[in-house]
Amino acid sequence: MLSYIFSAVVAYLLGSLSFGIILSKVKYKKDIRDYGSNNAGMTNTLRTFGKRAAAFVFIFDALKGTAAVLLAKYVLCFAHDAQLCAYIALVFAVVGHMFPVYFKFKGGKGAATALGATTALAPLTFPIVMLPFFIVVLSSKMVSLASIISGILLPFITFGIYYFKGEPTLVPTVSTALVAVLIVFMHRSNIRRILKGEERRIGSGKPKAEKNEK
């Protein structure tokens, strides 16, 4: 039981390292959550500070997910079920990214962290998930829609990977399904804008750090 608790706590604390907020505060002396969509993720960083900043945020938000599950699987799990420890870490790393304890529980939407974690556990996840992601981005110019669809597909992709490998599917599928629900929930405002035809698209404007009025 302690292994599962340690996995959850360490993953949550790692997930709470919101690199969008860290970068905006350290490099730009601003808080990314005061700009654009008020979100701490890669897309809002792209719109506010540009491509290089967005790439930094995406890479490090993904890597913290990778670190969380690998620590849980190989260091924190002791003699218990390593797969369960790792997928507990997946869920809590994503929760930490969304509700970071270091930043007043206001973070990002979890897609990059989930991708980094699931890729570390099942490398085939990356190319399979990114295929529909890029198809949706190229056709709609909406990163939010691509993230939502990829998130919904994640548990189905995970089930397929483990099923065809002949490995247990229950824990990976249930865990990624929970992550999918969280990702969709965090995109609820985007979904409303998409349905109204008001969602911003890639290329709709140059990066501009204009602070939102409170």
* Cα 101 off chain centre by: 16
Residue 68 domain-assigned (yes or no): yes
Task: Look at the chain and report how many structural domains it folds into.
Answer: 1
Residue 202 domain-assigned (yes or no): no
Residue 72 domain-assigned (yes or no): yes
Q: pLDDT tens, position by position, for the chain (214 residues)? A: 889 999 999 999 999 999 999 999 999 999 999 998 888 989 899 889 999 999 999 999 999 999 999 999 999 987 678 999 999 999 999 999 999 999 999 999 999 999 999 999 999 999 999 999 999 999 999 999 999 999 999 999 999 999 999 999 999 999 999 999 999 999 999 999 999 998 888 876 555 666 665 4
Residue 213 domain-assigned (yes or no): no
Q: Determine contact, residues 130/58, Cβ cutoff 8 Å.
A: no
Which helix (H) or strand (E) covers residue 6, if one does?
Answer: helix 2-15
Residue 201 domain-assigned (yes or no): no
Residue 35: strand, helix, or coil? strand
Gap between the Cα atoms of 3 and 139, Å rounded: 44
Gap between the Cα atoms of 10 and 101, Å rounded: 12
Residue 40 domain-assigned (yes or no): yes
Provide the domain limits for residue 8: 2-196
Residue 209 domain-assigned (yes or no): no
pTM of the prediction?
0.92
Residue 60 domain-assigned (yes or no): yes
